[in-house]
Homo-oligomer: A and B are copies of this chain.
Amino acid sequence: MSVTHTEVTATLDPCGASDHPDCGIRDMLDRVGDTWTVMVVTELGASERRFLELQRAIDGISQRMLTLTLRRLERDGLVNRTVYPTVPAQVSYALTDSGARLTHLIKALADWSLAERAAIAEARQRYDDTHPGHGIR
């Protein structure tokens, strides 16, 4: 069976201006469903950071990906970019109030994930033992 047309269109353009709960979920995943965004937001949750500080703190992020992620967050109004008139100019990034609210929620999810890690590993082992050859990853 292949992915249906309905499924694809629902994923691409689900909600418009609707305030159905499903749309909140889809919006949220569009915005924060990727690792780099979540890691940048979490890092800025600690304090304002300069570009190079972020790049050093986030293991494995490239300069290009960090630039893109910060621009998207700035465009969404979740991050403020400030240029300080030093020589050379310093550019610094900080969460807006909305971004700070998001950080608390992401931190709660990451804490849940760490807290459940051992239980999930055990559950997977049990499932794999009782469902040989299921092929799920």
Which residues of chain A have a CB within 8 Å of any CB of chain B?
1, 3-4, 6-7, 9-11, 14, 19, 21-29, 31-35, 38-39, 42, 58-65, 68, 71-72, 74-78, 98, 101-102, 105-106, 108-114, 116-117, 119-120, 122-124, 126-128, 131, 134, 136
Contact = CB atoms under 8 A, between A and B. Distances in A.
Copies in the complex: 2
Nearest to A74: B127
8 contacts: A7-B65, A25-B39, A25-B106, A28-B110, A29-B33, A31-B113, A105-B108, A108-B108
Contact of A22 (B59, B74, B102): B59
A114 B113 CA distance: 24
A62 B1 CA distance: 9
Given A33-B34, A75-B134, A98-B116, 14 more contacts: A1-B62, A6-B60, A11-B35, A11-B60, A21-B110, A25-B106, A33-B33, A71-B134, A75-B123, A75-B124, A77-B120, A101-B116, A102-B116, A105-B112
